[in-house]
Amino acid sequence: MRLIIMALVLVVAAVVYSLSLNDLEPRYEGRSLSHWIEAYEKDKGEQATKALQSIGTNALPFLLHWIRNPEPKHHTSLRPIARKLPRLFQPKWARKGYRPPRRSDLSAWAFHALGSQASPVVPELARLAADRKNANVAELALEALWDIGSNGVPALITVARDRFHPRRGLAVIALGLSRDLGPYTNVVVTELITFLEDRGVQCWAAYALSHLRVRPELVVPALVRRLEKTNTDANFRNRAVEALDSFRRKAANALNDSNIRVREEATNTIQTIHLAKIRSETRD
């Protein structure tokens, strides 16, 4: 009997805590932050974007909390007891058909909408991203950092350099998918070129470079050099060729540029890529 009473007390405490969080959650036009994040994920529409940007920095404490704390594990063990409470006092997570909220997974979308407004929490996101022991939290933090833009780039580079981090590959990809590298563009390109020599992340580095498609005068020769090495992995060669193709398409668009130097660079890039692909196919 004592155990049942204690369990009921825990359920009630969990209900009160859950309700208090819901009451505190910032709102826009009567709807909660959680609602607007879910709406933004579906279509990134103007209304959801405006809502999240209007909530602004008031959202940050909640976003960090959701990244650090996914769905509470105690819900599973307490659910059978909580269902014995009168329905008025039953928490949502005790009811039939309940599906856990996706706040932790969706929080990165809010950072995408907030962009530079989220700069104040970059140091905390960097700390979470660097955590080798909690890979799931680190992954969510990395996703948030690449959505924030250039302010998140240094933290992404730190994780990408960490050879023992379980989400290192994701950090490398994030450098290529970041919405805005800003003043870090050249630094990121240099890092990714270096990673082409690192068997642990070289495929992801080629993938990232194929998305960036900047500084072809540096990237294309680096990819070609790596392709020409006799110990190059077949999977990496495929990624490298895909990256070169993306640069080739960009160069093809520049063949009609009004500037003759741009046209010459585009022609040279296409020729270099063509020769590199022929050599790679011959080796296969």
Q: How far is CA 134 from CA 141, 157, 243, in A?
A: 11, 18, 32
Interacting residues of 9 by C-beta distance below 8 A, sequence separation 6+: none
Structure tokens at 4: 């049942």
Which helix H or strand E contains 68, and what residues bound it?
helix 60-68
Segment of 21-35, 122-136, 231-245 carrying the highest mean pLDDT: 122-136
What percent of the chain has a predicted confidence (pLDDT) above 70?
A: 77
Q: Can you tell me whether residue 28 is helix, strand or coil? A: strand
Question: pLDDT-based confidence at 224, cuts 50/70/90?
Answer: confident
Cβ atoms 10, 74 nearer than 8 A:
yes
User: Cα(162)–Cα(74) distance, rounded to whole angstroms?
Assistant: 33
User: Cα(178)–Cα(270) distance, rounded to whole angstroms?
Assistant: 26
* The predicted structure's pLDDT at residue 278: 64
Interacting residues of 162 by C-beta distance below 8 A, sequence separation 6+: 130, 132, 168
* The predicted structure's pLDDT at residue 192: 97
Question: pLDDT-based confidence at 210, cuts 50/70/90?
Answer: very high
191: left (phi over 0), alpha (psi -120 to 50) or beta: alpha
Cβ atoms 278, 230 nearer than 8 A:
no
* The predicted structure's pLDDT at residue 284: 55
Structure tokens at 261: 């130097």
User: Cα(239)–Cα(241) distance, rounded to whole angstroms?
Assistant: 5
User: Cα(241)–Cα(229) distance, rounded to whole angstroms?
Assistant: 14
User: Cα(109)–Cα(73) distance, rounded to whole angstroms?
Assistant: 24
Give the pLDDT confidence of 50-70 residue by residue, as tens digits: 999 999 999 999 999 999 986
* Least confident among 34-38, 262-266, 277-281: 277-281
Give the pLDDT confidence of 91-125 residue by residue, as tens digits: 666 666 655 557 788 888 899 999 989 999 999 99
Please, what sign has the CA dihedral across residues 98, 102, 104, 105? positive
Per-residue pLDDT for 134 more than 90?
Answer: yes
Interacting residues of 135 by C-beta distance below 8 A, sequence separation 6+: 166, 167
Quickly tell me which residue has 């996914």 as its tokens. 70
pTM of the predicted model, to two decimals?
Answer: 0.77
User: Cα(146)–Cα(179) distance, rounded to whole angstroms?
Assistant: 7
* The predicted structure's pLDDT at residue 253: 80
User: Cα(64)–Cα(45) distance, rounded to whole angstroms?
Assistant: 23
* Least confident among 43-57, 110-124, 236-250, 267-281: 267-281
Question: Is 243 exposed, middle or buried (CB count within 10 Å of its CB: 0-12, 13-18, 19+)?
Answer: buried
Structure tokens at 229: 């090495």
* Least confident among 79-88, 146-155, 232-241: 79-88
* The predicted structure's pLDDT at residue 127: 97
User: Phi and psi for 145 in degrees, rounded to 5?
Assistant: -65, -40
